[in-house]
């Protein structure tokens, strides 16, 4: 927007229309990840919401012959 203000020869109306459009090259070359918002949901009781994930496998077998926890 600042560039179009400085350069008077450019047709401002046409340029702003172009700026509002989704640019294919920009999306392919400069796309960034969206910000992650912290969820404000909190379970009211214990065991209402269970978070599960497995860590591993690890290269050394444990004494109980497990690789993941």
Q: Which residues bind another protein (CB under 8 A)?
A: 36, 38-39, 43, 45-55, 58, 60-64, 66, 69
Which CB atom, from 6 or from 64, has the smaller least distance to another protein?
Answer: 64
**Could you tell me if 43 and 49 are in contact, meaning their C-beta atoms sit under 8 angstroms apart?**
yes
Q: State the minimum distance, in angstroms, from the CB of residue 58 to another protein.
A: 7
Which CB atom, from 26 or from 54, has the smaller least distance to another protein?
Answer: 54
**Could you tell me if 15 and 30 are in contact, meaning their C-beta atoms sit under 8 angstroms apart?**
no
Q: State the minimum distance, in angstroms, from the CB of residue 65 to another protein.
A: 9
**Could you tell me if 19 and 10 are in contact, meaning their C-beta atoms sit under 8 angstroms apart?**
no
Residue with tokens 């294919």: 24
């Amino acid at each position: 927007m600042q560039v179009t203000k400085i350069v008077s020869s450019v047709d401002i109306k046409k340029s702003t229309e172009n700026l509002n459009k989704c640019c294919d090259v920009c999306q392919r070359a400069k796309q960034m990840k969206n910000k992650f918002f912290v969820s404000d949901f909190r379970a009211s009781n214990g065991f209402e919401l269970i978070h599960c994930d497995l860590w591993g496998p690890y290269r050394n077998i444990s004494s109980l012959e497990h690789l993941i926890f």
